[in-house]
Structure 1
């Protein structure tokens, strides 16, 4: 089946059912799943559909199911800090607790403005440490800890995200030797790596990655397969992923192929974790 024929077939199926799975399309078109994923990427660029984990949703279906343009807005702009801070708090707390083992006294660490990094900041003990961040909440959280030196990146303030972004924030990063970056993202895709909901945060996180020796992604399981607007980086650009659950074998393989250490912190009374 030629590409144009596959695209027509995919569009017809989506028009009829509103959603479709990659496996079903591969079987119907008699091609590989990788070929179907490339087709979905092209159709998404044309505005026909929105890719989701394992398949795709017709653009009109996505809008209808979320009261107008709510999903489109969240993909392109992202949710506010206050809204995100209330999502999956137990998972974020467990991930943050596990991340503490990567922090050593005397180091310089960098925390992005994600709520996952804020959960980590709340658990950091009062030890000799230099912390750089663009998050207003993290600055306020660490201000009471006498042994931690906090340096704000500055830049343009966002009331919605309650952080600082822009050229000034990016320039400051070049003046420091940063041991470890702890950051999160809006979503992860098999093909595109880590992604953000807007270009300002994506660009700043790209600069953070370049300025840091070790890169650790803190991400709860709801982010895997979640659609986002702008790419931050590929999996080979990071060292460690700490999450609460990773059942998807394709994501496990992708991370393993890129030599990323995956640490899963399950919901157990003992608080034990395991790496893959």
Structure 2
């Protein structure tokens, strides 16, 4: 089989299945995993798919459907961890903060030091992670559970946010577009994230490189409601520059594996 033919079939498989692992593709095409990784790297550069931790995911999922948490956990893992570590540096003892139900927020919860602070969240994963940190007070929004994202949404969750005011909110989303604002794949997630933004004095958006310049199904708010964007070193330089020209503070997280 020609290389081009194999790569064409890889794209078709990824689009049909939404996600696939390197080991599966290696077996399907009877080539080494290293060969598959090179194929995926080339196809990602051509914007035909997105590489994930150990595999690849489709570039064309239905933006009106939320990606399950287990799938999000393996997408751009290193970049999300770098962003989370940079965000943790902005948290001080005594802070009252919001963490949303994103995987990046979960990585941030894992990295938070056990210091006196209050964390308000709609994420089951974040709440469970912080339960082992005795000095951190955790407040859950409650509400309707979305099984895919392990998060609480809906009127009860939104109403609970009206009762609090925090100094910092750390939020992720599906896409950030300079003209079209910040957006999510799910309308209920968009509504609660808008409430989180309204409840915070300072809003930090944690966005890996794949989300810059993108627009998803449901609008959260405009970029004027954001104080700072934390992204990773793979972020397109022109996108970062355009954000800075809009007078947004942009932090590019260093790679944690650098020595």
Q: TM-score, normalised by structure 2?
A: 0.74
Q: CA deviation at 1:268?
A: 6.1
Deviations, residues 58-80 of structure 1 (Å, cap 9, x unaligned): xxxxxxxx99xx9352x011201
Give the one of 196, 210, 213 matched to 2:184: 196
Q: CA deviation at 1:191?
A: 2.2
Tell whether 2:67 aligns with 1:79. yes
Q: CA deviation at 1:225?
A: 2.8
Give the one of 93, 113, 133 matched to 2:101: 113
Give the one of 226, 242, 261 matched to 2:249: 261
**Alpha-carbon separation, structure 2, partners of 1:166 and 1:138:** 18
Summarize the alignment of residues 19-34 of structure 1 with structure 2, pairs less than 5 Å apart: none
**Structure 1 residues 254 and 157: alpha-carbon distance in aligned structure 2, compared to 1, 3 A threshold:** same
Match of 2:157 in 1: 169
Give the one of 240, 249, 259 matched to 1:252: 240
Which structure 1 residue ranges, 5 or more long, are not aligned?
Answer: 1-65, 272-276
Summarize the alignment of residues 85-234 of structure 1 with structure 2, pairs less than 5 Å apart: 85-234=73-222
**Alpha-carbon separation, structure 2, partners of 1:182 and 1:111:** 5
Deviations, residues 108-127 of structure 1 (Å, cap 9, x unaligned): 10001011111100000110
**Structure 1 residues 144 and 255: alpha-carbon distance in aligned structure 2, compared to 1, 3 A threshold:** same
**Alpha-carbon separation, structure 2, partners of 1:96 and 1:140:** 17
**Alpha-carbon separation, structure 1, partners of 2:66 and 2:249:** 28
Contact 1:236–1:259 (8 Å) recurs in 2: no
Contact 1:178–1:212 (8 Å) recurs in 2: yes
Which structure 2 residue ranges, 5 or more long, are not aligned?
Answer: 1-56
* Higher share of residues assigned helix: 1
Contact 1:109–1:179 (8 Å) recurs in 2: yes
Give the one of 206, 220, 225 matched to 1:237: 225
**Alpha-carbon separation, structure 2, partners of 1:258 and 1:233:** 15
Contact 1:99–1:242 (8 Å) recurs in 2: yes
Q: How many residues of Structure 1 are paired with residues of Structure 2 in the alignment? A: 203
Contact 2:185–2:216 (8 Å) recurs in 1: yes
Q: CA deviation at 1:147?
A: 0.3
Match of 2:11 in 1: none
- Flag the structure with larger Rg: 1
Q: CA deviation at 1:253?
A: 4.1
Q: What's the Cα RMSD here?
A: 2.0
